[in-house]
Structure 1
Amino acid sequence: MDNAKKITCVGLGEILWDILPDGPRVGGAPGNFTFHSMQMGLDACAVTSLGDDERGHEALRILKEYGLKVHVWTSDKETGYVKATLDERGVPAYNFALDTAYDNMPFTHEFESVARNADVCCFGTLAQRQENGLSRKTIRAFLDAMPAGSIKVFDINLRQNFFDLEVIKAGLERCTAFKCNDDELPVVCSLFGIDPVLTPEDFYNSFLREKFDIDTFIYTCGEKGSEIFYKGEHSFVPTPKVNVVDTVGAGDSFTATFIALTVQGVDFRIAHQTAAEVAGYVCTQHGAMPVLSPELKKKVEDLVASARPA
């Protein structure tokens, strides 16, 4: 990547409202990824669809207040939302509204222009859940329009039954980095008819690299730590011990931190350690988009500065 200019980064897909026990918050993995990528120093934007309704207008206002750039299609469908309940460990369970704005996002000329200039893009399965929804086609067209050599991060974020083999296969065929957690890995293996107790290392080597030529695998295991397989190398980092408020958005902050730091030249093991620290910090805060602490902000700035060529 050219470090002479800011690296452009896109969170592609759903922006929605998390209706949490302590009140509503704007969320959605692409928005969370965009926000944290921006905090890591990338020129980040979200590409999404919102309804022409109170929730849509308020979401756009809040995202802009956060400093996010948003390319939005205004839909005649309602703005997406999900009712989230937290268990005693702060882990959310979700109940999603159906056939919403983010399911019906067309591939506009504006979106195509963003795609052709994007260095990094993160996408998932949720916005592709409707077989007849526009978003499934749009996400694939967006990825296909990105420049050669760009980074395409497939963070599957499996929710309820909103995924199938065809969507996951299409994502794997297009991505350069794959992210899932320890609950999702056996599901992916079962869908592809491979051993559901395959180790992450075997999954990386015999499936991701061999069948799809994917060189980055981000694997998170909640309290048990995280593993990253990167260009044939491996890193394990234990999960920091923190007082958890809620875990909403922690995985997105982890992925964004790791990807944003590595594309700026930071060593992948240091990027992994920092990603774990950022995700731990997010778990101590309410909501998915907390501003970094001054200590973390300085650490990130120093890492990026030291990674720049002299």
Structure 2
Amino acid sequence: MSLTPAAHAPVSAATNPSTTLELPLQRHLPKASRLAFGCMGLGGSWDATDWTADHLAHAHAAVEAALDIGVTLFDHADIYTFGKAESVFGELLRRQPSLRDRIVLQSKCGIRFADAQGPKRYDLSSDYIVTAVEASLRRLGTDRLDLLLLHRPDPLMQPDEIAEAFQRLRSRGLVSHFGVSNMHAGQIAWLNRALDQPLVANQLELGLGHLEPIDAGTCFNDRQAGTRAGALAWGGTLELCQQDGIQLQAWSALARGRYTGDTAADPRDEPARALVHQLAEQHGVSPEGLVLAWLMRHPARIQPVIGTSQPARIRACGDALKLTMSRGDWYALYEAARGAALP
């Protein structure tokens, strides 16, 4: 079993200027790739059963495809397939230990499933964060995470307690850098005040299928802001992350295939789906690559997290690196996905 990161020739700046721009994350983790691979689909089913040889083969094929398109950042969470995503990835690392030092390993914690102590809940208490990281490291078979994200905001979270957990993990060499996921600007600023090391990433649901963080800036001073549910809650989040050098990572960047398939499951998505395919053919890229290129055109230098575990679709995502989208195409897709003209 061989998992070797691809050695790609650099794309010229004239072809793709975005490849010459440093990701905010690369200031802290220079090996971080422009695209990330999300490992949520590895390890089998979301239950307590064990992973199998077939699950290992599936993970190997998916990781190999990601490496083939130059991915070095692999995104995990302790809850993915009840921990099996980390475990099966750890088996891949065990079989090829040299891979560990050539990739950026990221995981998340803070979501707890229902148990004897309570229902599904969020837990960003200091002891739980530390315990969760220790468990992730055991499953991954490694001694450190390059980046830990807090998976969801906990209404009961206390910044000083989170800062204490981060200090414990950093002093033991278990985690190098820290970030958050699904947090808005106010939460990030509030949390950052207690930390002695800045947050370096914020992973949001973001893309053609989830436009609210972008709409929050586009429509805040228009009546549309009141009709687009959730948009106002994200006000200032993209701007804060750009200002403070926080890497924006986009989960569900492919919108679960809403715009890349041959037909739209929801008729309201058909105009955007048709335009994605039209522009993909025009530019000689895959629909997946075009959808991700739309995200990567944003000046925040967003890092899409590839959520599919199908090797062919993973490789198709590599086309995003071949295209810098024009302003006209970007706005055409934005309007089509919104389903309404801009104010």
| TM more than 0.5 | no
Give the TM interval when normalised to the shorter protein: 0.3 to 0.5
Highest relative contact order (Cα 8 Å, sep 6+), 1 or 2? 2
Q: TM-score, normalised by structure 1?
A: 0.40
Name whichever structure is richer in helix by fraction.
2
Name whichever structure is richer in strand by fraction.
1
Indicate the structure (1 or 2) with the bigger Cα radius of gyration. Answer: 2
